[in-house]
Amino acid sequence: MKYTGCLFTALVLSITALPGYGHDLSGFVERNGRLYIALDPAISEDVHAAASVATNMSASPHVRAMAIQVLTNNPSAHIDVLRMATRDPSLLCRMNAAEALTGYDPTIAAETAREVLRQLMSSPPARSSEYYNGYRAAILLAQTGDPSGFNFITDRLTHAKYLSEKVSSLDALPEFRLFPEVAASQVVLQFIENTIPVLAQGDPASRQEANILLSRSFLALFRLHAVDAIPQMRTWGTRLPDNLQKELDYIIRRIEANGDLD
């Protein structure tokens, strides 16, 4: 059985109960052979209860985060609670609240995102999964006209230990397409140039990772509308295996088509 869900690893979650809500406010729900963490319906179906849990420091961070997520269905009715949640010790809770506030209090949303990035850049988190909240923060800022999260993204692309983080970095870079001063396309191009030689290494695991990263990089160039990069992209074909050559050719055609439309 595969275990996934809600961005969280499989953990047993329970908190000190609110009066009238029993002891277990979260647990596991199985759907289609997968386990998902879920709030007790007494919380997930009652926004007033969710608002109480969202700022209850007796609750586990994951439960608070899920309660905040319940409030995002109607953020305008819970602005004060969401503002309080942007000061939660948990980065996950802060970013859930910040994203919900983007359309209602963009100043606090942006300040929260910047503080999350400052915290992650100043000292490595205890769990690498916390970096996910940095990606969210950088994207939130980019989508509101602030490219200040770009350095976080490029730092993780360069220094991340895990494939999933590098993929997240490549997926985030196109959010900076409208900021020519950061030259996101050049970052992707240089990453590709550095990664192609790995395909010739003897280690199968390294080759497989490089294959995945190159495929994701090509997609990033497409999303960046990197028309100017096409001449350089054409030089890679003979250095790639057949599957990546086909992907590259397809991406080049799509970029050219978009360029014609522009």
Nearest to 174 by CA among 211, 218, 237: 218
Which carries the bigger pLDDT value, residue 209 or residue 9?
209
Give the number of other Cβ atoms within 10 Å of residue 20's Cβ.
Answer: 7
Q: Give the list of residues 6+ apart from residue 162 with CB closer than 8 angstroms, or none.
A: 128
pLDDT in tens, 179-197: 999 999 999 999 999 999 9
pLDDT at 26: 52
Distance CA 45, CA 5 (A): 19
Give the span between the Cα atoms of 150 and 138, in whole angstroms: 7
Tokens of 186: 């050049």
Residues in the chain: 262
Residue 202: its pLDDT value, please?
A: 81
Contact 179, 229 (CB under 8 A): no
Cα 73 to Cα 11: distance, rounded to the nearest angstrom: 25
Q: Which helix (H) or strand (E) holds 28?
A: strand 26-31
How many whole angstroms from its chain centre is CA 19?
A: 35
- pLDDT at residue 7 is higher than 60: no
**What confidence category does residue 1 fall into, taking pLDDT thresholds of 50, 70 and 90?**
very low
Question: Can you tell me the distance from the alpha carbon of 212 to that of 168, in angstroms, rounded to the nearest whole number?
Answer: 12
d(CA 165, CA 67): 26
Strand ranges of the sheet holding 34-39, from the earlier edge strand across to the other edge: 2-3, 34-39, 26-31
Specify the range with the lowest mean pLDDT, choosing from 45-49, 94-98, 144-148. 45-49
Per-residue model confidence (pLDDT) at position 92: 97
* pLDDT band with cut points at 50, 70 and 90 for residue 126: confident
Q: Are 76 and 100 in contact (CB under 8 A)?
A: no
Mean pLDDT of the chain: 87
How far apart (Å, rounded) are the C-alpha atoms in residues 121 and 90? 16
Residue type, 217: S
